[in-house]
Amino acid sequence: MDSILVTGNGALSGEIPIAGAKNTCLKLMCAALLTEDPLTLTNVPRLSDVTTLSTLLESLGCEVALLQNGHAMVLSAAEIKSRVAHYDIVRKLRASFNVLGPLIGRCGEAVVSLPGGCAIGARKVDLHLDALEKMGAEIELKEGYVHAAAPRGLRGARIDFPFVSVGATENTLCAAVLAKGTTVIRNAAREPDTVALAECLQAMGAQIDGAGTGEIVVDGVDQLHGTTHRVIADRIELGTYMIAPAIAGGSVELIGGERRLVGALADKLEEAGIEVGDTSRGLTVRRGNAPVKAVDVATAPFPGFPTDLQAQMMALMCTAEGTSVLEETIFENRFMHAPELIRMGAEIDVHGGHATVTGVERLKGAPVMATDLRASVSLILAGLAAEGETVVSRVYHLDRGYERLEEKLRGCGALVERVEAA
Ligand code: EPZ
């Protein structure tokens, strides 16, 4: 299995282009199932998760054609040939559970595998299923699969989510656009990914109000048509590369970055003494000579601090001046990077949903590995600031969510290379 070798090399300087957002792109791809017409997506990130979902969509009868060297795709679901999303794919990519809403919305029937376990938490799908039941679907769980049926079609309903779920909001939204009548989704996710999905659905003919607020109202229509949609910049990739110069020193321009996508992170970086500014092409992040100050962080749904940047922020806090407390409120098991950072000399005490980090002067390179995407990238960031060599194994996690990671960091002077397994 390949690994990434990072050799701490001091301050970074240069620019990094930000790719299209993985988590937006995956949901837009699922939405292609809602229409017989082609849906064209541009600014598509070239990631293994996108390939995995393409395979699933093809198994349902959706044709997927790649253009522009994989940076654009045309999805044509003229005919849905299968309504079954199999376990072999859904277990690899939880986002594939989001074919459920489009399939039942368009076909009145869907059989989708339950995603199964996940390294960062239980990640139940009860909210998705409760919402569909309220819309008139009959749901049965058999042999690890969700069997959903609405032979007379779905009908609009009032959905009050007990807490914010990005996936459940998006699945419900996709189911509601072709339902009869009005659906009101309360306590809806306000993530930019969800707003982008709503905008794409609107361009396909859906009637949606309130995306980006806690209440989304959908008036069902009879059918949707095709459109062309550009995937927004990946705010988590952006945030990750904003933390790179903060941890290693120096200054980096993030091309295509927008502060509105990462407001909570930008505020925390500024509180820690890092400069964040706008440029004509994106954002710039600069660490001056002063030490980074410890800041406390609690994850929360958007516009709060994203759970997907908690691991990277922890890496930064490992060499900050003082003690910080990081609170994870979204997933119950998302501190798996802590023991690996400790192997690099960090001082971290995890207690329940909190991690107390006491900054040390310098991290030390070590062989490390992680069990999820964001944890893996936090170890790369830590390696940038460490003395000596850090070898991060299980690189396939990184390939799920970061396109050309080594190249992008090398472009700013970092010593990062992929070591192929013998
Ligand atoms: C999305 O996951 C993202 N994935 C995650 O990104 C991200 O961490 C997460 O939102 C939170 O921002 C994609 O968009 C593909 P949730 P999702 O439903 O939709 C619980 C990454 O690194 N819950 O908002 O699965 C759940 O267990 C990934 O790119 C239920 O209990 O997240 C969690 O504790 C990882 N029942 C909380 O809600 C449900 O039915 C929020 O999860 C649904 C969720």
**Residue 98 reports pLDDT greater than 80:** yes
Q: At what angle do helices 166-176 and 100-107 cross, to 10 degrees?
A: 10
* Alpha-carbon torsion, ordered 192, 193, 199, 201, to 10 deg: -160
As a whole number of angstroms, the distance between CA 223 and CA 34 comes to 8
Closest residue CA from atom 28 of ligand 1: 308
Q: Ligand 1 centroid vs 95 CA: distance in angstroms?
A: 9
**Residue 313 reports pLDDT greater than 90:** yes
pLDDT the model gives residue 299:
98
Q: Is 318 a catalytic residue?
A: no
Mean pLDDT for the stretch of residues 126-140: 98
For the entire predicted model, the pTM comes to: 0.98
Q: What is the DSSP string of 214-248?
A: SEEEEE--S----EEEEPPB-HHHHHHHHHHHHHH
**Residue 117 reports pLDDT greater than 90:** no
pLDDT the model gives residue 422:
73
- Which pLDDT band holds residue 421 (cuts at 50, 70, 90)? confident
Element (H, E) at 145: strand 145-149
Closest residue CA from atom 5 of ligand 1: 308
pLDDT the model gives residue 53:
97
Ligand 1: residues within 6 Å at CB? 23, 26, 94-95, 121-128, 165-168, 193, 307-308, 330-331, 373-374, 401
- What tokens does 193 get? 């990914």
Average pLDDT over the chain reads 96
pLDDT the model gives residue 119:
81
Strand order in the sheet with 367-369: 367-369, 389-393, 3-7, 415-419
pLDDT 10s digits, 290-310: 899 999 999 999 999 999 999
- Which pLDDT band holds residue 222 (cuts at 50, 70, 90)? very high
The residue among 266, 254, 353, 257 whose CA lies nearest residue 313 is 266
pLDDT the model gives residue 181:
98
pLDDT the model gives residue 342:
98
**Atom of ligand 1 at shortest range from CA of 129:** 40
Phi-psi map region of 214: left, alpha, beta (phi>0 left; psi -120 to 50 alpha)? alpha
As a whole number of angstroms, the distance between CA 363 and CA 8 comes to 10
- The contacts of residue 142 (CB under 8 Å, 6+ apart) are none
Domains (range + CATH), the chain: 3-18+233-419 (3.65.10.10), 22-230 (3.65.10.10)
Q: Ligand 1 centroid vs 120 CA: distance in angstroms?
A: 10
As a whole number of angstroms, the distance between CA 201 and CA 196 comes to 9
> Which of the following is catalytic: 30, 118, 318, 412?
118
As a whole number of angstroms, the distance between CA 308 and CA 299 comes to 9
As a whole number of angstroms, the distance between CA 154 and CA 180 comes to 6
Closest residue CA from atom 4 of ligand 1: 23
Residue 415 phi, psi dihedral angles, 5° rounding: -100, 95
Mean pLDDT for the stretch of residues 322-345: 96
pLDDT the model gives residue 120:
81
- Which pLDDT band holds residue 122 (cuts at 50, 70, 90)? confident
- Which pLDDT band holds residue 420 (cuts at 50, 70, 90)? confident
Element (H, E) at 208: strand 207-209
Closest residue CA from atom 16 of ligand 1: 165
Cβ-contact 263, 235 below 8 angstroms: no
Among 134, 166, 261, which is best to mutate for testing ligand 1, by the most ligand atoms less than 8 A from CB? 166
pLDDT the model gives residue 121:
78
Q: Ligand 1 centroid vs 236 CA: distance in angstroms?
A: 14
| Number of Cβ atoms within 10 Å of the Cβ of 305 | 25
pLDDT the model gives residue 407:
97
**Atom of ligand 1 at shortest range from CA of 189:** 24
CA distances in angstroms from 61 to 56, 76, 161, 240, listed in the order given: 9, 9, 32, 36
Q: Using the 8-state DSSP alphabet, how is residue 213 labeled?
A: B
